[in-house]
Amino acid sequence: MDYLIKYEMLAATAELNAAREKLMESLGEKKKLYVSLMRMWFRHKISKERFDMEVRKMMDSKQAHFHNEFLLNLFFKCVKPDLPEHGTMYSKLRARRRAAQYKIGFHKANHQEYAPERVRQKLHEDRRYPIQDLLVPDEELIHMRMMLSSWELGLEGSNRRVANYIFYAVRIFVKDIIIAVLSLKNGFRVNAKGALHGIGAPVPNPWLKKVGRLYELPPLFSDSLYGMEMMDTGEHVPAIQQSLTEKHQDIALIYSTCREPAPKRRMTPFDFLEALKVYTRTIMSHGINTINIERIITGMSHPSYPEIERDQILADFLKKRPWPRSRV
């Protein structure tokens, strides 16, 4: 099965490279403009409709055919199919029902059972980029951008696993930055392995609860699934896990013995700047860290709307004002 999947991937890559070579040969000197427009589309500077409109202006019918063939192969290579998987429980039960009916005798077939299943989409649905919804780019978009970058470097293409790794790496990178900002503003707990958890949880009042048992102590060892604890005889035995009711009681006890939490303000660019300065290992690359700090400082020093309006009024006034002539 894995061999067939690899063979299909290699075949799709070969067809994509063949379609790209045909398109680039037919474009000639216009291929640089075509690649620049595609790069602008992938960077969200222009939309897909604007890309098609600008590209078809400089193409004839033959070049447009090669362009459509190239895009179809690119989408087939990078985009995952949205059709449901075969062999579901409903299809198995339907097959059993048909088999039981065939044993009894001949019955009239229902045409709806043999109709292909399709995913229904809403009419006039607006397709938005992930960056417009403030979301992390998906694997398909990352894969297409990597394919374009590999072609510019003279390579044949890019593997889909690389796009998958980059997708999860970006998610972990964003998660680390958010944890750094939240841990700087709120209290947190650390487990036996050093991982942060319970960010923003209330701190119990030591006058209402014993200081030595503010929280449940972490297990001494993590060799087993449930941890270990030491008995009075010095032996290590598996720790007894709390039930759901006991956990709810502990949480209620913590909230009943804690102080009233202070009102929290929203996160600002100053919080991100302070977090990057305190937790320097959040962004390991010095160059990327410097660029992000410069962008944050630029965003914090951006002029307000009244200042922009005031500068515009002053510029219009200076344009209309007649300047005095110099005396000879």
155-199 per-position pLDDT tens digit: 777 888 888 888 888 888 888 888 899 888 888 878 777 778 778
Write down the H helix ranges in the chain: 2-27, 31-42, 48-57, 61-78, 89-104, 139-152, 160-185, 244-256, 269-278, 286-300, 305-320
Instruction: Please answer whether residues 201 and 187 qualify as being in contact, where contact means their C-beta atoms are separated by less than 8 angstroms.
Output: yes
Residues found in the chain? 328
Model confidence at 301, pLDDT cuts 50, 70, 90, reads confident
- The secondary structure of residue 227, as a DSSP letter, is -
| Residue where the block lists tokens 């490279």 | 17
The mean of the pLDDT values for the chain is 73
Tokens of 5: 């999947």
pLDDT in tens, 86-134: 445 545 555 555 555 444 444 566 656 666 565 555 555 555 555 555 6
Single-letter amino acid, residue 69: E
Rounded to whole angstroms, what are the CA distances from 231 to 24, 210, 226?
75, 22, 16
Single-letter amino acid, residue 213: R
Instruction: Please answer whether residues 222 and 193 qualify as being in contact, where contact means their C-beta atoms are separated by less than 8 angstroms.
Output: yes
Domain ranges of the chain: 2-80+129-158, 189-256
